[in-house]
């Protein structure tokens, strides 16, 4: 079973194929290769599960497959690991017609996409995201990059893949925490711009958590569709695209303070989303009943909602160093009801302090 979503970005349109049994289907990949050489970048967790499944049918079709296996974890999303990819590409004399394939979660996608954007000033790139989070987030938007000791995602490029394969079979081996982190991102699309999808999620959350095939495919499809609509209108993140950062400014502060990788990105975003909701409620933009619905859905998704108590000043300082700051002022994505988010610096700073003080 497979559905295809076409992401329209001018000359750089590409399809996202969503379904089961996609990884081992070389016919989906072959038409996108400029020559029969690919370099598959993956990590030590994903490689034993899926690398051979992908590589064998390609080799059988006459494709030369270079395997680049990186250590697993957000801690490795840095320039040293990036250099491991460059070194392997250069040692194998990969050329501009060599296609890079990212096989893994968000870290692998970001690293591989950035390597593809910058190796020989750009080579083709295919994404095979193996986590729910990366299927609904990294599949659309073209964000690639690495972390810097002074901040997350500080170095990067906008670079679009030629093709995305979101194979839901890979979710079967995903730890529950990571599945929940992905669902947090799915819920986000409902919260910021798609109230109907939020309603649908309230009904289907248990099936989604159980990875029911049709429900999972629809959740991924509709998430990518929402993201694609936002991104198409704003490819380089100057305006509406910032809506996608609901919970992220709080969330990045949490990730940064706790050390990258201690909280999963989606977990931090979930807790951050509840902080943003709390501030929205204090501003009178969100009702207690709506907060209750959000709370119930995130609970069903087994997400942590209790942000760590870092202290108000620490939060504010960390939020200020987030790159979504325009001219020194913290802009936040806040909610004006379920299905409607706004980007604003026009909130009461005292109420932001109250929200942060209310964390226990």
Is residue 92 annotated as part of the catalytic site, yes or no? Answer: no
Is residue 329 annotated as part of the catalytic site, yes or no? Answer: no
Catalytic residue among 245, 255, 290, 331: 245
C-alpha span between 343 and 241 (Å, rounded): 10
Least gap, CB of 156 to its own copies (angstroms):
4
Is residue 121 annotated as part of the catalytic site, yes or no? Answer: yes
Q: What is the three-class DSSP state of 154?
A: strand
Residues in contact with its own copies by CB under 8 A are: 35, 79, 83, 86-87, 90-91, 93, 95-97, 117-122, 143-145, 148, 150-151, 153-158, 236-237, 321, 323, 325-327
Catalytic residue among 74, 178, 185, 255: 185
Least gap, CB of 198 to its own copies (angstroms):
30
Catalytic residue among 241, 255, 256, 290: 241
Instruction: Name the DSSP class of 72.
Output: P
Tokens representing residue 82 in the block: 């990036």
Q: Give the residue with the Cβ less far from its own copies, 200 or 260.
A: 260
Instruction: Name the DSSP class of 247.
Output: T
Q: Give the residue with the Cβ less far from its own copies, 154 or 258.
A: 154
Beta bridge partners of 304: none
Is residue 252 annotated as part of the catalytic site, yes or no? Answer: yes
Catalytic residue among 162, 188, 248, 281: 248
Least gap, CB of 319 to its own copies (angstroms):
13
- Buried/exposed 111-126: b ≥16 CB within 10 Å, e otherwise: bbbbbbbbbeeebbbb
Is residue 331 annotated as part of the catalytic site, yes or no? Answer: no
Q: What are phi and psi of 128, to 5 degrees?
A: -120, 85
Least gap, CB of 246 to its own copies (angstroms):
20
Least gap, CB of 155 to its own copies (angstroms):
5
C-alpha span between 213 and 194 (Å, rounded): 22
Is residue 143 annotated as part of the catalytic site, yes or no? Answer: yes
Beta bridge partners of 317: none
* Block residue for tokens 């096989």: 103
Q: Give the residue with the Cβ less far from its own copies, 237 or 354.
A: 237
Phi-psi bin for 248: left (phi > 0), alpha (psi -120 to 50), beta?
Answer: alpha
Q: Is there a contact between 99 and 123 (Cβ–Cβ < 8 Å)?
A: yes
Helices 265-282/288-300 angle, 10° precision: 170
Q: Give the residue with the Cβ less far from its own copies, 145 or 266.
A: 145
Is residue 148 annotated as part of the catalytic site, yes or no? Answer: no
Q: Give the residue with the Cβ less far from its own copies, 56 or 323.
A: 323
List active site positions.
121, 143, 185, 227, 237, 241, 245, 248, 252, 265
């Amino acid at each position: 079973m497979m559905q295809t979503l076409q992401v329209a970005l001018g000359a750089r349109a590409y399809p996202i194929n969503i379904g089961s049994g996609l990884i081992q289907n070389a016919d989906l990949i072959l038409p996108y290769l400029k020559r029969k050489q690919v370099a598959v970048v993956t990590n030590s967790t994903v490689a034993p599960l899926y690398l051979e499944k992908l590589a064998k049918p390609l080799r059988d079709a006459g494709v030369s497959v270079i395997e680049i296996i990186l250590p697993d974890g957000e801690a490795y999303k840095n320039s040293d690991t990036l250099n491991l990819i460059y070194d392997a590409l250069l040692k194998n004399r990969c050329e501009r017609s060599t296609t890079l394939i990212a096989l893994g979660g968000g870290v692998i996608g970001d690293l591989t996409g950035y390597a593809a954007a910058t190796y020989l000033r750009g080579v083709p790139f295919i994404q095979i995201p193996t986590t729910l989070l990366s299927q609904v987030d990294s599949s659309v938007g073209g964000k690639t990059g690495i972390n810097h000791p002074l901040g997350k995602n500080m170095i990067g490029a906008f670079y679009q893949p030629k093709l995305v394969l979101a194979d839901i079979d890979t979710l079967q081996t995903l730890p529950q925490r990571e599945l929940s982190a992905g669902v947090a991102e799915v819920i986000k699309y409902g919260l910021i711009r798609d109230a109907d999808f939020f309603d649908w999620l309230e009904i289907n959350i248990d099936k989604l958590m159980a990875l029911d095939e049709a429900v999972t495919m629809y959740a991924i499809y509709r998430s990518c569709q929402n993201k694609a609509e936002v991104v198409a209108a704003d490819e380089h993140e100057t305006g509406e695209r910032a809506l996608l950062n609901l919970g992220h400014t709080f969330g990045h502060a949490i990730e940064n303070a706790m050390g990258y990788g201690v909280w999963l990105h989606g977990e931090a975003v979930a807790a951050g989303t509840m902080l943003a909701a709390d501030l929205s409620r204090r501003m009178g933009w969100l009702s207690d009943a709506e907060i209750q619905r959000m709370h119930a859905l995130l609970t069903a998704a087994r997400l942590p909602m209790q942000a760590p108590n870092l202290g108000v000043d620490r939060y504010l300082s960390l939020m200020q160093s987030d790159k979504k700051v325009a001219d020194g002022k913290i802009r936040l994505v806040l909610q004006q009801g379920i299905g409607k988010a706004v980007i604003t610096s026009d909130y009461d700073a005292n109420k932001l302090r109250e929200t942060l003080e209310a964390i226990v």
